[in-house]
């Protein structure tokens, strides 16, 4: 067995995918391919894909435009919301600029109120997401909202989205999810095959690949290559195994992953929206009613905007066992009330039912807390 020193260059390619995608997005626009921007995992991507549109995640991950956003929005607001609004307002995000329509949802209060202002400079459609996953009324509401989104896309782009098109898009997204699931399942290996930082690069980068068939092939090839090398004995050093949960991370908030891994642990699983929350469950391809199949998958996403949010606990329960997790880090973006309030529930579950250490950290899009993050992570890893 030899300790792995070099990682495949393709990780860097995935890390650069967001930037490399700018030119691709421009090319698509020149070819008149519609572009649909999204801010949330609840958005059923299958619908825009079914009409041949490109779908792009617009959640901003740096503090570059927060100052501009704070001219319109309160300072004491989640950085994800302020930064996303700021990139839209200043036209500094090419993906936002090229998006013909932005689809939002009534998730947290901050986001849904921000969309009212965003609608002043962009075509924004907000889907009415129920606050609970319980009961037929919630299900019907979400199913109807999905059908309404289809109608809105058809009208805006003067096209017809057939059920056969949606079925093909469901199949494509399921294959994409399966490829990514198989990739992040490498995190189950003990000792690990790759770092959490590299898992995140692939998960984040894959959201900016517009040729989805090609992206599936790349992820499958990467998984195969790492598995083969692992079987030949190339492994990473065994360290305490960490699961990350909470608010979405990526971009500047990768500082949390770095702080964990620089201080003696490996991140083996990402439960949050850049990871399993968005990917783990497939859409049923058996159901005749495609809208029902979509509603079932998307409404079951375990976000803290739901009350109660049992599906987050169910996912954590499974992942902690399957990934042999030694400790859980809950990442809360500043002023995110729903995730902040839910920390108590997650702590009780992790410390109580699973009997492993838990830590919640609150952070923002600045780099000023890196020293503090390092100190806290070093102490956390030491107590595992």
Contacting residues toward ligand BJ8, per CB under 6 A? 40-42, 78, 80-81, 107-108, 110-111, 247-248, 273, 301, 303, 305, 333, 336, 338-339
CA distances from 243 to 25, 240, 338 (A): 33, 10, 20
What minimum distance in Å lies between the beta carbon of 332 and ligand BJ8?
8
Q: Which is nearer to ligand BJ8, 263 or 360 (CB)?
A: 360
What minimum distance in Å lies between the beta carbon of 33 and ligand BJ8?
24
What minimum distance in Å lies between the beta carbon of 250 and ligand BJ8?
11
Closest to 127 measured CA to CA, from 298, 269, 287, 246? 298
What minimum distance in Å lies between the beta carbon of 91 and ligand BJ8?
21
Rounded Cα distance, 50 and 36, in Å = 12
Q: Which is nearer to ligand BJ8, 198 or 271 (CB)?
A: 271
Q: Which is nearer to ligand BJ8, 40 or 350 (CB)?
A: 40
What is residue 308's DSSP assignment?
Answer: S
CA distances from 246 to 30, 227, 358, 377 (A): 38, 29, 12, 16
Q: Which is nearer to ligand BJ8, 215 or 253 (CB)?
A: 253
Q: Which is nearer to ligand BJ8, 37 or 110 (CB)?
A: 110
What minimum distance in Å lies between the beta carbon of 140 and ligand BJ8?
20
Per DSSP bridges, beta strands 101-105 and 35-38 are parallel
Q: Which is nearer to ligand BJ8, 184 or 339 (CB)?
A: 339
What minimum distance in Å lies between the beta carbon of 40 and ligand BJ8?
3
- Helices 79-90, 109-118: crossing angle, 10 deg rounding: 10
Per DSSP, the chain holds a count of helices (H) and strands (E) of: 17, 10
Q: How far apart are the first and last CA of the chain?
A: 26
Rounded Cα distance, 3 and 49, in Å = 42
């Amino acid at each position: 067995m030899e300790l792995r020193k070099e990682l495949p260059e393709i990780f860097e390619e995935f890390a650069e995918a967001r930037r490399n995608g700018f030119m691709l997005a421009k090319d698509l626009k020149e070819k008149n391919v519609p572009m649909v921007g999204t801010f949330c995992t609840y958005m059923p991507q299958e619908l825009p894909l079914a009409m041949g549109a490109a779908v792009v995640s617009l959640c901003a991950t740096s503090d570059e435009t927060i100052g501009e956003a704070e001219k319109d929005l309160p300072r004491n607001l989640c950085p994800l919301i302020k930064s996303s609004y700021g990139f839209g307002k200043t036209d500094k995000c090419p993906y936002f600029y090229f998006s013909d329509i932005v689809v939002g949802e009534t998730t947290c209060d901050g986001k849904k109120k921000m969309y009212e202002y965003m609608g002043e400079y962009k075509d924004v459609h907000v889907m009415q997401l129920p606050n609970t996953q319980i009961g037929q009324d919630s299900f019907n509401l979400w199913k109807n909202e999905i059908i309404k989104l289809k109608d809105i896309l058809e009208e805006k782009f003067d096209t017809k989205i057939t059920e056969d098109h949606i079925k093909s898009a469901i199949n494509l997204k399921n294959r994409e999810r399966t490829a990514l699931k198989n990739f992040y399942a490498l995190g189950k290996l003990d000792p690990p095959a790759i770092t959490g930082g590299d898992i995140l690069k692939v998960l984040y980068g894959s959201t900016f690949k517009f040729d989805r068939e090609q992206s599936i092939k790349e992820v499958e090839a990467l998984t195969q290559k790492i598995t083969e090398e692992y079987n030949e004995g190339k492994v990473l050093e065994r360290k305490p195994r960490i699961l990350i949960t909470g608010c979405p991370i990526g971009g500047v908030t990768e500082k949390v992953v770095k702080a964990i891994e620089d201080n003696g642990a490996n991140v083996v699983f990402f439960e949050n929206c850049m990871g399993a929350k968005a990917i783990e469950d497939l859409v049923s391809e058996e159901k005749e009613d495609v809208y029902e199949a979509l509603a079932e998958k998307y409404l079951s996403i375990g976000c803290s905007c739901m009350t109660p949010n049992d599906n987050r606990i169910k996912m954590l329960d499974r992942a902690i066992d399957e990934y042999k997790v030694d400790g859980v880090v809950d990442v809360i973006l500043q002023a995110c009330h729903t995730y902040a309030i839910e920390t108590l529930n997650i702590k009780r579950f992790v410390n109580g039912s699973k009997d492993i250490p838990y830590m919640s950290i609150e952070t923002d899009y600045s780099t000023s807390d890196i020293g503090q993050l390092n100190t806290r992570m070093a102490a956390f890893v030491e107590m595992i």
